[in-house]
Amino acid sequence: MAVFVLDKCKKPLMPCSEKRARLLLARGRARVHRMVPFTIRLVDRLREDSVLQPLRLKIDPGGKTTGLALVREVESVTENGDSNRTAYVVALMELQHRGYQIRRKLYQRRGHRNRRRRHLWYRPSRFRNRTRSPGWLPPSVRHRVDSVATWIYRLKKWTPLSGISLELPRFDMRRLTEEEVDSTDRQRDLSRFEARAYLLKKYGKRCAYCGAQDVPLTIDHIYPRSRGGSNRLSNLTVACIPCNQRKGSRSVSEFLAHDLRQVASIEQSRQKSLKEAAAVNTSRSELLRCIEATGLDIETGSGVETQWNRSRLAVPKAHCLDAACVGKVDGLVSWKKMPVLVITATGRGRYGRTMLDSNGFPKAYLIKTKGVFGFQTGDLVRATVTRGKNQGIYIGSVAISAIGYFKLNTLSGKKLMVSHRYCKLIQRSDGYRYHFSRVQYDPSPDPGTFPDLGPKAVTA
């Protein structure tokens, strides 16, 4: 991952390599401005004296995780006169949302409120005298939009962004449930391809009945249409051609009567809902409006185009790499072996001091003070452990306790307990926790899932 660079007036410059950042720091030409993501500030240069190249931020929104990729695009003209756009990856990031935690806390708050009011039967209902402002979103969905917008403005402050590429996935769940699909309607055609990609990912590109792999797969109804089944995604699966033909108009319980374990597995996967798809559908317009407010050049793409680019360029499946394939891209360079910065939204604490069990009874109490020995939960520290089995130097975020022994989550993903005497503050808590990971990629290309959309130039 590249190092972000600021000038002496804290204006963004072009990112540099880790080696160059170490040389600048060693020669006294730069100061550490921020630890994660690592940012330095030059003391002898202004933005007007530097040459900047355009950078583009690519975003792949998701229900639980949003992929972010910072790329430098280079335009070239081929011999045929066509424009060729190659993207050089500068940084890969994955933003993990906490919408489900917010939803659970809201349900818990509603339970406490109902418990306080259980003896107030005379209280009149007030659910009809409240209005919602235009553009209102549920708090869990609003958090997804706000967290993405926050990191857009942060990266705009640290890097010379010139444009944003946003994937606008369209999960048309109403049309997916219609009885007939008109192949002449382009929107319905796109919905069918989105459904096929979802089913292939859900069942691991294997036949749901016999487990066959690397064979042609077809979409099959778990409960046939002739026996009351629907076209909902929960009633669809993928099956090889022999199993599809042998099953015919029988239900899955009849077809797999000899293998009840496989029937239970299919039924369990069938119960999965489309909450994440619904959250993405709900927030896509508001997210686009927030990006338009930045004043940057905006490029939008579909999920089908992203999948086509990823399959054509032989890029593995990952949220950050999906983001790098958003929009028009003819070549993707410098993405292999690049560390991925995983950003987990944790919030800035809570007002409640009582921790409850699953039945709503108190099980523990948090300390009343927000800070202990000069540290707060979420602070990034450098722990120099001089004794014990965990002897060494670690960097990570801490969870404080009153006794002075903190839980340390290192940037490499390791967890341990350290004393406050070993810790040194290097960055205050900003509502996010960070760690680095790597993408496990397979050099073999992804098998063709989508129809051929035309010849494309591929950069090795």
Is residue 357 assigned to a domain? no
Same domain, 247 and 292: no
Same domain, 147 and 187: no
Same domain, yes or no: 154 and 287: yes
CA 60 – CA 325 distance, rounded (Å):
9
Q: Are 315 and 210 in contact (CB under 8 A)?
A: no
Q: Cα separation of 182 and 167, whole Å?
A: 25
Same domain, 41 and 60: no
Let me know whether 59 and 163 are in one domain: yes
10-residue mean pLDDT series, the chain (460 residues): 94 95 96 95 92 93 93 86 88 94 86 72 70 87 95 96 90 49 38 71 86 88 81 84 89 85 79 72 90 93 90 92 93 92 91 76 84 93 92 93 92 91 94 87 42 32
Q: Let me know: does 281 contact 149? Beta carbons within 8 Å.
A: no
**285, 147: one domain:** yes
Q: Domain end: 224, 240, 273, which one?
A: 273
Residue 124 is inside which H or E element, if any? none
Q: What is the CATH number of the domain that holds 200?
A: 1.10.30
Q: Are residues 66 and 39 in the same domain?
A: no
**Overall domain count for the chain:** 4
Range of the domain at 8: 1-51
Specify if 228 maps to a domain: yes
pLDDT of residue 460: 26
Q: Is residue 351 part of a domain?
A: no
What are the C-alpha distances in Å from 192 to residues 183, 274, 278?
9, 16, 17
CATH code of residue 427: 2.30.30.520
The whole-angstrom separation of Cα 173 and Cα 171 is 6
Residue 26 CB neighbours (<10 A):
9
What is residue 448's predicted lDDT score, i.e. its pLDDT? Answer: 37
Alpha-carbon span 306 to 329, nearest angstrom: 9
Tell me the sheet residues that pair with 424. 382
**Cβ–Cβ under 8 Å, residues 398 and 357:** no
Q: In 292-391, where do the E strands start and end?
A: 297-301, 331-333, 340-345, 354-356, 362-365, 371-372, 375-376, 380-385
Q: Indicate whether 350 belongs to any domain.
A: no
**What three-state secondary structure class fits 154?**
helix
CATH of the domain at 162: 3.30.420.40
Is 459 contained in some domain?
A: no
pLDDT at 24: 96
In a domain, residue 360? The reply is: no
Query: What pLDDT is recorded for position 211?
Result: 85
Q: How far apart are CA 245 and CA 290, in angstroms?
A: 49
pLDDT value at residue 181 = 37
Q: Are residues 182 and 301 in the same domain?
A: no
Pair (161, 177) in one structural domain:
no
Same domain, 152 and 94: yes
Residues 73 and 159 in one domain: yes
Tell me, yes or no, whether 214 and 245 share the same domain: yes
Q: Is 312 exposed, middle or buried (0-12, 13-18, 19+ CB in 10 A)?
A: buried
Whether residue 450 is contained in a domain is answered as no
- What is the C-alpha to C-alpha distance for residues 348 and 426, in angstroms, rounded to an integer? 18
Q: Is residue 299 part of a domain?
A: yes
pTM over 0.85: no
